[in-house]
Amino acid sequence: MTLDQPTLERLAEHLETCQLQAQDTPKITDDHPEMDWEDAYAVQDLILARKRARGARIVGYKCGLTSHAKMKQMGVEEPVFGFLVDEYAVSEGASIRCDALIHPKVEPEIAFVLKHELAGPGCHVGAVLAATDFVLPGIEVIDSRYRDFKFDLKSVIADNTSAARFVVGGQACAPQAIDLRTCGVVLEKNGLPVALGAGAAVLGHPAAAVAALANHLGRRGQKIPAGALILSGGVTEAVAVAPGDHVCLRIQDMGHVSLRFV
Ligand code: OOG
Ligand code: MG
């Protein structure tokens, strides 16, 4: 840790206020170049603490920058992890107000729901599949609080990895019933396919992203609890959306889920 507690708390307040007021900010490492990884996750934890103090409930976790398409799009090389709270969840087919967001983008993801807890270190794809109750399609709406989505890894971790909204839906499937590597992923905007991929784009197998999350939490003395929902990371690059857009994610053998932006 290089930053003191008052600075960490000030940064958490600043980033969460930017989220709640839909205002952008320069990346925080501009003013704090000495910030380290622990500081970055400490700011994220303090944002979660602020939300919990107002009654928010944690519903799960997200993995980010787990595909080459996303790493290339954002110019970074390592996965990052964030939390999901109930205020981010929207229902299938919901209309999302763009005026509550800065510059939203959508990502096609495979969501996991666990029936057993997962603990790292040493968590692997097999352990994830054994602990998974079902998988289902999920659209993540990301909205970096940083101007023009320009950030480095530490800044984006502090900003809870751009988390803003998510929806899951379609067909819940047992993980053994589907080949999560070869399943086709089609993201449509206004009826046209705008991004295409397959599950293997995410670290070779989306369950590997969940294992990486369990190992990350294990290093911090935490586990993924039973019942948690995990977004395993965008399969393709993220696609910008604007009022009037309708977005539909189709995943082979897993049905579809959609959202509207107003
Ligand atoms: C960071 C969040 C990335 C994903 O699925 O890769 C992410 C960002 O690109 O703003 O959620
Ligand atoms: Mg994502």
Q: Which residue segment(s) compose the domain that 122 sits in?
A: 5-261
Share of the chain above pLDDT 70, in %: 100
At residue 245, the pLDDT reads 98
Give the residue, by CA position, lying nearest to ligand 1 atom 9: 74
Ligand nearest to the CA of 160: 1
Count other C-beta atoms under 10 Å from residue 117's C-beta: 13
Give the residue, by CA position, lying nearest to ligand 1 atom 4: 64
Ligand nearest to the CA of 74: 1
**229 Cβ partners below 8 Å, 6+ apart?**
59, 60, 61, 84, 111, 112, 113, 168
**Which residue has tokens 């960490």?**
8
**Is the CB of 107 inside a 6 Å radius of any atom of ligand 1?**
yes
Report yes or no: 7 and 15 within 8 Å, Cβ to Cβ. no
**Is the CB of 140 inside a 6 Å radius of any atom of ligand 1?**
yes
Distance 63 CA to ligand 2 centre (A): 7
Distance 88 CA to ligand 1 centre (A): 15
Cα 51–53–58 angle (5° rounding)? 50
Rounded Cα distance between 107 and 166, Å, is 9
Is 25 a residue whose pLDDT tops 90? yes
Atom of ligand 1 nearest to the CA of 109: 5
Average pLDDT over residues 84-89: 98
**Is the CB of 138 inside a 6 Å radius of any atom of ligand 1?**
no
Give the residue, by CA position, lying nearest to ligand 1 atom 7: 64
Model pLDDT for residues 168-207, shown as the tens digit of each residue: 999 999 999 999 999 999 999 999 999 999 999 999 999 9
What CATH number is associated with residue 163? 3.90.850.10
At residue 262, the pLDDT reads 98
Distance 73 CA to ligand 2 centre (A): 13
For the record, the structure tokens of 19 come out as: 């989220």
Rounded Cα distance between 193 and 182, Å, is 18
At residue 223, the pLDDT reads 98
Give the residue, by CA position, lying nearest to ligand 1 atom 10: 162
**Is the CB of 233 inside a 6 Å radius of any atom of ligand 1?**
yes
Model pLDDT for residues 136-173, shown as the tens digit of each residue: 999 999 999 999 999 999 999 999 999 999 999 999 99
Q: Which of 162, 187, 210 to probe ligand 1 with, by most ligand atoms within 8 A of CB?
A: 162
Average pLDDT over residues 104-124: 98
Distance 214 CA to ligand 1 centre (A): 18
Count how many domains the chain has. 1
pTM score, whole prediction: 0.98
Report yes or no: 247 and 142 within 8 Å, Cβ to Cβ. no
At residue 77, the pLDDT reads 86
**Mean pLDDT over each residue of the chain, to the nearest integer:** 97
Distance 260 CA to ligand 1 centre (A): 20
Atom of ligand 1 nearest to the CA of 231: 5
Ligand nearest to the CA of 105: 1
Ligand nearest to the CA of 202: 1
Is 120 a residue whose pLDDT tops 90? yes
H helix count then E strand count, the chain: 6, 12
